[in-house]
Amino acid sequence: MTVRVEGRTIVLEGRCPAGDAEDLLGALGDHPQGRVDIGGVVKLHMAVLQVLLALRPPVTGRPPVGPLSQDIFRSLISGSDSDAECF
């Protein structure tokens, strides 16, 4: 499973397919004050990204290298109240 909850953190890791959008939405509903750790993401389906963009939870973890870190996650991290390292 690429979406799991560890305490108050929702961890995304590996390849996150479209089906993970529903899992992420459910986890954020169950943990509305939770943070999302994107440090282990390798690939991300747009459906999962849409959940992140719509709900804008605090995002932690160092994003992966490549286009995901440069374009998509930058607005999530810089707009979050988290202590994530921004590059």
**What tokens were used for 1?**
């499973």
Please report, for residues 32, 47, 54, the alpha-carbon distance to residue 42 in angstroms, rounded to integers and kept in the order given: 25, 15, 21
- Give the architecture (CATH level 2) of 3-78: 2-Layer Sandwich (3.30)
Both tokens of 23, joined, read 């899992």
- Mind listing the pLDDT tens digit of every residue in the chain (87 residues)? 689 999 999 999 999 999 999 999 999 999 999 999 998 888 889 999 899 989 999 988 876 666 666 666 666 655 554 444 443
Cβ pair 12, 24 in contact under 8 A: yes
Three-point CA angle 10, 15, 18, nearest 5°: 80
